[in-house]
Structures are given as structure tokens and as C-alpha cells.
């Protein structure tokens, strides 16, 4: 096969999307790796999830909430990160399980793993062995704190890494109130960075014909999004601290109380500041608020002045006035409000799938859309499959592997 040839998956139609025809072998569990695998499945790749017989992915038991029949409850946690995949259960400590895994590795373009450092080697599948089986294989390895270094052997759990990587020190009502982010952001970010790195390695393989290893970690992913907070420390020598719902470097930018609720505003330049003042009846010439730096310095007084101006206006009235003036503003929605929002629906961010036990269910949708340049036609994957039942696709996967073996025999004989 020429290095520019797309991967071939006989007797199975590629899913629409940029990765249609690629095969991804997902050995991961919990959230970081499965999220990466789901992202690749959303892009059209065929993602085959290898699970532990009997129990499967850890998240199958993470709940409540569980939904479905009492004798076969389904964890909504598992449903959140495993759409567009197939499942096969393999005992990787058995000869039969390892043999099937070898066949899968031969047929795959990429392999995802998030074992603790050294576990895959002990199972007999070191990086060297994987590339002996399939030199074109791209391997994504996600660990907690990195695959090497003095703390490489530590297990990676999201909240622990949020604390260790400084994120909790930036989040909360104040320095004495460290808070975790409301979703497992270290897991999710490492999955995103991992998928991004894997795609780059697949692109490079088209030039070189060779696979490689992509490594990331929960620690690296969180530090990778420190952004301006990171350079406040590394360049300015400051130690950023949590300060609630207000931006540390821009003012006014945050959550403000009003009559019967609250609104969020973002005033990012002097033109917007003057427009904002005119709209809500503030004095734009107040010397304490003359520049953004002044407003940041006098943030406490600024918040008091703005909330006093807002105190006689309900949220809907304020949002209407600010929107008409062109001042960025919004409300804090609950998740039921988010998923019933017509804008979310318009972006494909809520999708329906048919689950073999639960029937039709709605899932959060993928965040990317694709369009042809000339026609403007949307080419985003539109048909999605529900997260698979444990070992639910074993028969079809084994049939696919058997047909590939027969094809190789026929080619040799001819």
C-alpha cells in the first residue's frame, strides 16, 4: 500500500466524515481515553472498544444516575463518552484474547491506551511490539502525570490533577475557597489534546508511511490551558488566586446581581465601556474607571456601582437593553435550559440515537461541523450510533477479522 493510500476496511462502509475508513482501537476506560475515542468516532472513524469481560469499562458502574430496567441499568456516565463505537470483550491475560488483539492491531490505524505506565508492556504489548505487528500504527498514550519523570507511576484522577496542576487554586469564590471545575476537565482536556496529537501523527504518516507514539497526560493538559494565568506567574512573577466570577485582568467582566437574579457582562475595550455606561446610566468620566487598568484596580467599587445601577432591573430587561446596545451579555442557564435552547438545537449539539435497551435517547452532540467550500454543503456526520453494550459487537468484529484473514490467504495463493 502506498503511504498516501487511505486505510481500507473491507466489507464495511466507511462512516461519513473526515476519518471515514480509518480504524481506531480503543483500549481505554473511564473518561480521558474514551472521550478521545468518541471524538474520532464523531469524525467518522470506526472505533472498536476493547473491554474487560464481565464488567467492561469502569464507567458502566459509575452512578447514580442509572436509567433503564432494574435488572440491566445503564449508567449515564458511560453514555456520555462512548457514542459511535463498537464493543468487544477480551481477556488480555489469555492467549485467545491476546491473539484477537493482535489481529485487531494489524487492521487498525490507531490505538488508544490509558493504562498506568508499564502495564501494557507487562501484557506483552510494548510500543516496540505494537510496531512490529503494525509499523503504521499511531499510538496515543494518556497518563496521569506523564510517562516519565519522578512521578510517572502516580495514578491520574481528575480532581487530584485539578489540584496538583493549579486549576483549583484559580477556581472558587476566593483564595480560601478552592473549587474543582464542575466537569472532569483534566480528563476531557487530555482526551482533546490526545485526539489532536493523534490526528497530526496520522497526517505525518501519510508522508513517512510510519506510525509513532503520541503522549499526553492530565497534568500536561491542564497546564496547557493555563493561558494568561500561566504567564502571570512565569513572566510577571505573580501567583494568581481564585476571585470568584470576575475576570482578573478585565473589568467589568463577570457576574453581576440585579433585581431578582443576575446577568453576566463582558466589557473588553474602552468603546464598549462608554456604550455600557450610557446604556445603564453610569458616569464614563469617573477617574477611578478611566481605563481598564483603573477599573481592575478599583474592582470592588466598580462592582458596587454596577450592581446599584442594575438593582431596579430584572435580568430579561437588562439583557434586552444590553443586547440592543451591542454590549456582550448573557444569563446563567441550567442544563435543562441549555438542551432546550433553539440555538443549541441549530448547531447539532443535541442528537438522538437508538439504544438497544433504552430505545431513543438524546445525547450531547459533537462540537465540530464540516462544510464543502464550493457548494457550502454540510458534510458533518449526521448518523450516530448509541454507546455499545458490553461485547455487543463481538460477532461482527470477529467476522470482519476472519474475512480479512481469508483475503490475505487468497492474495498469497494468487
Name residue, grid cell 474514551: 34
Q: What is the chain's alpha carbon radius of gyration, rounded to the nearest angstrom?
A: 25
Annotated catalytic residue: which of 26, 42, 187, 393? 187
- How far is residue 400's CA from residue 143's CA, in Å, rounded to a whole number? 31
In whole angstroms, what is the distance from residue 166 CA to residue 230 CA?
Answer: 10
Residues of 98-135 as b/e, b for ≥16 C-beta within 10 angstroms? bebbebbbebbbbbbbbbebeebeebebebeebbebbe
Under a CB-based contact definition with an 8 Å cutoff, are residues 367 and 39 in contact? no
Element (H, E) at 33: helix 32-42
**42 catalytic, yes or no?**
no
Residue carrying the nine cell digits 435550559: 337
Characterize the bridge pairing of strands 253-258 and 261-266: antiparallel
* CA atoms of 399 and 195, how far apart (whole Å): 28
3-state helix, strand, coil in the chain (%, to 5): 40, 15, 45
Closest to 161 in 3D by CA, of 224, 237, 214: 224
Phi, psi of 46 (to 5 degrees): -85, 115
Catalytic annotation, residues: 187
Amino acid at each position: 500500500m502506498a503511504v498516501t493510500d487511505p486505510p481500507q476496511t473491507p466489507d464495511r462502509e466507511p462512516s461519513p466524515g473526515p476519518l471515514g475508513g480509518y480504524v481506531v482501537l480503543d483500549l481505554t476506560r473511564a473518561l480521558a481515553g474514551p472521550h478521545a475515542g468518541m471524538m474520532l468516532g464523531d469524525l467518522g472513524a470506526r472505533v472498536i472498544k476493547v473491554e474487560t469481560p464481565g464488567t467492561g469499562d469502569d464507567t458502566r458502574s459509575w452512578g447514580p444516575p442509572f436509567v433503564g430496567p432494574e435488572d440491566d441499568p445503564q449508567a449515564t456516565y458511560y453514555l456520555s463518552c462512548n457514542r459511535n463505537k463498537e464493543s468487544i470483550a477480551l481477556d488480555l491475560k489469555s492467549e485467545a484474547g491476546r491473539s484477537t488483539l493482535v489481529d485487531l492491531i494489524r487492521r487498525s490505524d490507531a490505538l488508544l491506551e490509558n493504562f498506568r505506565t508499564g502495564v501494557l508492556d507487562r501484557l506483552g504489548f510494548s510500543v516496540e511490539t505494537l510496531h512490529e505487528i503494525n509499523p503504521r500504527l499511531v499510538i496515543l498514550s494518556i497518563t496521569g502525570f506523564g510517562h516519565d519523570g519522578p512521578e510517572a507511576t502516580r495514578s491520574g484522577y481528575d480532581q487530584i490533577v485539578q489540584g496538583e496542576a493549579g486549576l483549583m487554586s484559580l477556581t472558587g469564590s476566593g483564595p480560601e475557597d478552592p473549587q474543582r471545575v464542575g466537569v472532569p476537565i483534566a480528563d476531557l482536556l487530555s482526551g482533546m489534546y490526545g485526539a489532536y496529537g493523534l490526528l497530526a501523527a496520522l497526517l505525518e504518516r501519510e508522508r513517512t508511511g510510519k506510525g509513532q507514539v503520541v503522549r499526553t497526560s492530565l497534568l500536561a493538559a491542564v497546564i496547557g490551558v493555563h493561558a494568561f494565568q500561566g504567564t502571570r506567574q512565569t513572566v510577571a512573577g505573580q501567583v494568581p488566586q481564585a476571585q470568584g466570577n470576575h475576570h482578573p485582568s478585565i473589568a467589568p467582566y463577570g457576574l453581576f446581581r440585579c433585581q431578582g437574579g443576575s446577568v453576566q457582562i463582558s466589557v473588553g475595550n474602552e468603546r464598549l465601556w462608554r456604550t455600557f455606561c450610557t446604556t445603564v446610566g453610569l458616569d464614563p468620566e469617573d477617574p477611578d474607571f478611566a481605563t481598564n487598568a483603573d477599573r481592575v484596580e478599583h474592582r470592588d467599587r466598580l462592582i458596587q456601582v454596577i450592581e446599584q445601577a442594575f438593582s431596579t432591573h430584572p435580568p430579561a430587561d437588562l439583557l434586552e437593553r444590553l443586547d440592543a446596545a451591542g454590549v456582550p451579555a448573557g444569563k446563567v442557564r441550567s442544563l435543562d435550559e441549555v438542551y432546550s435552547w433553539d440555538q443549541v438545537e441549530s448547531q447539532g449539539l443535541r442528537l438522538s440515537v437508538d439504544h438497544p435497551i433504552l430505545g431513543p435517547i438524546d445525547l450531547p452532540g459533537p462540537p465540530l461541523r464540516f462544510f464543502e467550500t464550493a457548494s457550502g454543503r454540510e458534510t458533518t456526520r449526521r448518523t450516530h450510533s448509541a454507546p455499545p453494550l458490553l461485547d455487543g459487537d463481538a460477532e461482527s468484529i470477529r467476522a470482519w477479522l476472519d474475512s480479512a484473514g481469508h483475503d490475505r490467504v487468497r492474495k498469497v495463493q494468487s
